[in-house]
Amino acid sequence: MRLKIAKIIWSKIRKMKRFLVDILICFPLFVYSQADFRPAYIIGFNNDTTYGLINYNANVYYNCEFKKSPESEVVVYKPFEISAYRFIDDKYYISKKVTVKNSYEKVNNVEFYNSDKEEVITSSHYKIEGSTYQKVFLEYLVQGEANLYYLKDNNAIEHYFLDNKDSVLIDLTNEEIETYHNGELYYLNTSNLYIGKIKATMRACPQLFDKIDNVELNHKEMIDLTSKYHDYICKDHKCIIYERKIIPPSFQFSIFGSIGYGLTKDISVYNPYEMNYLYFDNCLALLVGANLHIRKLFPEKEKVSFKIRTELSKFNYKKTAKILNDNINMKYTVYSANVSLLGVQNFTTKESSLYFEVGPLFKYSLHDKLELNNKNLLFNKAHDPSNYGLVFGWGYETPVFGKSKKIFAELAYKQFIHELNLNFVLGFEF
């Protein structure tokens, strides 16, 4: 039972992880969108090659957005119009006819009696239905004794395809089997039918069958398996791996200064003469901090990065009031430390880029001091020294003194329960 629960939890975590990453990527695009044209070439059906630029952010499996120069008009090629296209020293796409199964549908229900719990369990088997035969651009991963391709269709379903000397494309898409109890997910499993398909395609190499039994459908494992198959079968030459070379994550530090504008309803002074509260005016603040910027953590989503940010801030809240013909001067100074984890979405892969960031924020008051010229007024600090909130903002970065060093400017908004800050940030990344 623990194993079953663990599988279900892990499945939900994987789906949630993908969902959160996609939300981070897609949200800013509702506000701002920009194509990313990179050096590339297209290959016609007569093997004629034309060099130019291709949009890396297009729907690359169904369209090729091409232009000969940065100033040229964009021409959109469909899979039936060109043979292939490739980004220079990067991904390679080839036009192929495939049967794309693009929706999950329940095909049967099986009820069985669980004697341990004395209850009836309903098992629902889902498989991919709604097949369409169409021409698409497949990402060419490995060329050899067995060729490996990849496709993410318009419904975000991932497909891997294998072919050998027979030139028959084998779809390796896995099927999920879900078991429900009283309408809730009880057990999750997969059919793993792709394992048998791989063995049939690679039947000339039974030495790999043990490896095939444990292979997962992802780029790393499938490329490794297909390459090993080629090495066993062909001793004359190496297979060609077209997969984009993975660049390891980079870690960069930055320092910054910031001017902040603060508003708080958490701190007040009680006026016993008029039985009301005196709230402090909005104030300007000074902040200094540092970032650890983690780039290229997701190879396929190179415009997504993360920042771990630490800040020290000083806020001087003031208030002047008149009570019973007496001038009251109040000053409240608070020193705080902030830590935030930010997801960052750049809009281009160029060195100079606009970006959006969002993430949770933790704030802790290190020291505070109240100056009050009337001892009859009561200080009311309603908030706990620790506080939580959300920060989001826009920024722009551009290189200086080489590509690895950048200056950046940001406008950030921080929202707490009873407090908000607006900050202008200027920093240097190295």
> What confidence tens digit (pLDDT) does each residue in 157-191 have?
888 999 876 667 888 887 766 666 556 655 566 67
Cα 389 from Cα 91, distance rounded (Å)? 41
CA distances (Å), origin 339, targets 36, 228, 290, 380: 33, 47, 10, 26
Helix (H, G, I), strand (E, B) or coil at 359: strand
In whole angstroms, give the CA distance from residue 211 to residue 397. 46
Instruction: From first to last of the 430 residues of the chain, give the pLDDT tens digit.
Output: 444 444 444 454 444 444 444 444 444 444 344 678 899 999 999 999 999 999 988 889 999 999 999 999 999 999 999 999 999 988 999 999 887 665 545 445 555 445 555 555 555 544 445 566 789 999 999 998 889 999 988 877 888 999 876 667 888 887 766 666 556 655 566 678 888 888 888 888 889 999 989 898 888 899 999 999 888 888 788 878 886 666 788 899 999 999 988 877 666 666 665 656 667 777 888 899 999 999 888 766 778 999 999 999 988 878 777 766 677 777 878 899 999 999 999 887 778 889 999 999 998 888 877 777 665 555 555 556 778 899 999 999 999 887 778 999 999 998 887 778 889 999 999 8
CA geometry: angle at 242 spanning 236 and 247, to 5°? 120
For the whole model, what pTM was predicted? 0.60
Beta strand ranges found along 144-249 (DSSP E): 147-152, 158-163, 170-171, 176-181, 184-190, 240-241
